[in-house]
Structure 1
Amino acid sequence: MSWILLGLGLVLVVEGLAWALAPSLLEDMLEALRRLPVERRRLVGLAALAAGTALIWAARGLGG
């Protein structure tokens, strides 16, 4: 359970920093995502899922 809370906390920190430091850039990125077809957005989501899984796997392998 502590790993889940740690992960969620890290996500919120990164998201909060992005919104605090570059809100207009995030709005532009959201608009660009809106223009992408649904299938492309799905592929982007799957790529992010794969990258996140690989990072977690690598972190655990390095001594987590």
Structure 2
Amino acid sequence: MTDLWVALGLVLALEGTLYALAPGAMKQAIRQMLDLPDNVLRAGGLAALVIGVLVVWAVRG
């Protein structure tokens, strides 16, 4: 369970860094995402999910 909290903390730290360093770019990215079709966002989310699981699997064995 500790690993889950560490992972969530890292996600928040990375996202917070992006918003702190480039808030304008993040707003623009969100605007662009709103214009994308759902299937494109879904495919991107699934790709991120698979890559994330593979990374965890490779690191944790």
What is the percent sequence identity of the aligned residues?
A: 41
Q: Secondary structure at the match of 1:40?
A: helix
Runs of 4+ in 1 over 2 A off after TM superposition: none
Unaligned runs of 5+ in 2: none
Cα RMSD of the aligned pairs, angstroms, is 0.8
Unaligned runs of 5+ in 1: none
Cα deviation digits, residues 30-63 of structure 1 (max 9, x gap): 11111110111111110111111111111113xx
> How many residues were matched structurally?
61
TM-score, length of structure 1 as denominator length: 0.89
TM-score, length of structure 2 as denominator length: 0.92
